[in-house]
């Protein structure tokens, strides 16, 4: 039984992507989605134990841990319940408490990434939401973000459906580590429609920067008194720090410059475009890796077929 599961998992480990992870985690209530802790920030050399649980009986499933170093990279298998330990990684299964733990000793900077607990008794495996772990780099100082909201460009008029739209840009910069999330409100009310945030954050020297955009109807922007607010939450390893910036509708944007250092909206847009390009390159790398793994798996299967035929 264990050999059959290991062989089945070997193919899945090579092909799981971040898309598959979030699809499984967003399943129905009956799906055994593992519950995991939130973000963690630790110093090198420390030890950590990540623990996940299931609402259903864990003994009915094979439990596993995976890691994704950087968003867009392939998900890599670390350890399953039968392995017990692999180097600095140790797996512990407690079926009475319905808990499955991953212990990591002597943390290193390259241990940073998102760790996923998974449960399976057949295809597919069901993943938790993930725990983002950052092992702080020497010389890098934990810093909260500076947030600014850039009003729309006066040159922006229409979208592809010929409807009048305006785009506001929020820039959060100068933070470390990259444990941030961005949301928008209009007049204090949360909005999701028209929001697009970059992911992951862009590394600039020893700090990070992230941008988020909000597209609204032009008439809403030109209505005086409307308040558009960008809200950024940042986890510093101990507490979550909330920072926001806002801009008022009905403003003539031709004479507006932003702080700090008087950068113009166009300069921030250039940075945003750079972040988009980095994300596209990351996606292309992921696709190439998937094609490589598929070809390799096909060749290995073909080799086994020839060997069987000769016998």
- What one-character DSSP code corresponds to residue 105? -
User: Are 129 and 160 in the same domain?
Assistant: no
Domain termination residue (choose one: 138, 154, 172): 138
- 217 lies in some domain: yes
Which domain-ending residue is among 96, 114, 138? 138
Residue 294 pLDDT > 70: no
* Per-residue model confidence as pLDDT tens digits over 200-233: 899 999 999 999 999 999 989 988 889 999 999 9
Domain endpoint, select from 108, 138, 168: 138
Same-domain status, 168 and 246: yes
Residues 37, 67, single domain; the answer is yes
Lowest mean pLDDT across 31-40, 85-94, 141-150, 262-271 = 262-271
Number of alpha carbons in the 13 Å side-chain half-sphere of residue 58: 22
How far is C-alpha 308 from the geometric centre of its chain's CA atoms? 44
pLDDT tens per residue, range 153-208 = 887 765 555 568 899 999 999 999 999 999 999 999 999 999 999 888 999 999 99
**What phi, psi does 304 have (nearest 5°)?**
-65, -35
Cα-Cα-Cα-Cα dihedral sign, residues 181, 32, 98, 44: negative
Residue pLDDT, tens place only, 235-287: 999 999 999 999 999 765 433 333 444 444 555 555 555 555 655 655 555 56
Q: Three-class SS of residue 25?
A: helix
Residue 92: closest CA among 126, 53, 123: 53
Overall domain count for the chain: 2
Q: Residue 117: which domain range?
A: 2-138
Burial class (CB in 10 A: 0-12, 13-18, 19+), 93: middle
Residue 275 in any domain: the answer is no
Task: Determine the pLDDT at residue 224.
Answer: 82
| Claim to verify: residue 64 and residue 187 sit in the same structural domain | no
Per the domain annotation, does 311 fall within a domain? no
Helical residues (DSSP H) of the chain, grouped into ranges: 2-15, 18-25, 218-221, 265-310
**pTM, rounded to two decimals:** 0.66
Q: Are residues 91 and 212 in the same domain?
A: no
Do 9 and 86 share a domain, yes or no?
yes
Are both 192 and 230 inside the same structural domain? Answer: yes
10 and 131 fall within a common domain: yes
Cis peptide before 124 (omega within 30 of 0): yes
271 in any annotated domain: no
CA dihedral for 180, 183, 187, 188, sign (positive or negative): negative
Whole-number percent of the chain with pLDDT over 90: 50
- 134 shares a domain with 15: yes
Residue 148 is predicted with a pLDDT of 96
Mean pLDDT of the chain: 78
pLDDT at 3: 36
Average pLDDT for residues 64-84, to the nearest whole number? 91
Q: What is the pLDDT of residue 307?
A: 43
Same domain, 133 and 254: no
- Do 187 and 220 touch, CB atoms closer than 8 A? no
41: domain CATH number is: 2.60.40.10
Sheet architecture: strand order including 99-104: 48-53, 99-104, 89-94, 85-86
């Amino acid at each position: 039984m264990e050999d059959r599961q290991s062989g089945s998992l070997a193919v899945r480990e090579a092909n799981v992507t971040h898309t598959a992870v979030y699809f499984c985690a967003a399943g129905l209530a009956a799906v055994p989605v593992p519950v995991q802790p939130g973000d963690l920030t630790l110093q090198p050399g420390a030890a950590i134990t990540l623990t996940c649980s299931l609402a259903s009986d864990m003994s009915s499933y094979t439990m596993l841990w995976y890691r994704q170093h950087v968003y867009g990279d392939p998900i890599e298998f670390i350890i399953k319940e039968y392995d017990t330990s692999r180097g600095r990684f140790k797996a512990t299964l407690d079926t009475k408490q319905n808990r499955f733990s991953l212990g990591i000793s002597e943390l290193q900077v390259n241990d940073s990434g998102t760790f996923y607990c998974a449960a399976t008794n057949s295809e597919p495996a069901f993943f938790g939401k993930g725990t983002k772990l950052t092992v702080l780099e020497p010389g890098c100082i934990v810093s909260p973000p500076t947030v600014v909201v850039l009003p729309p460009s006066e040159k922006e008029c229409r979208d592809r459906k010929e409807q009048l739209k305006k785009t506001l840009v929020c820039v959060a910069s100068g933070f470390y580590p990259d444990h941030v999330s961005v949301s928008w409100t209009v007049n204090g009310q949360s909005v999701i429609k028209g929001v697009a945030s970059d992911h992951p954050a862009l590394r600039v020297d020893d700090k990070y920067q992230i941008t988020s955009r909000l597209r609204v109807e032009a008439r809403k922007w030109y209505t005086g008194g409307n308040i558009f607010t960008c809200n950024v939450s940042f986890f510093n390893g101990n507490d979550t720090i909330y920072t926001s910036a806002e801009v008022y509708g009905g403003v003539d944007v031709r004479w507006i410059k932003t702080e700090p250092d008087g950068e113009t909206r166009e300069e921030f847009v250039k940075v945003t475009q750079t972040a988009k390009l980095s994300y596209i390159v990351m996606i292309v790398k992921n696709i190439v890796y998937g094609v490589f793994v598929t070809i390799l798996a096909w060749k290995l299967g073909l080799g086994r077929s020839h060997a069987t035929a000769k016998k």
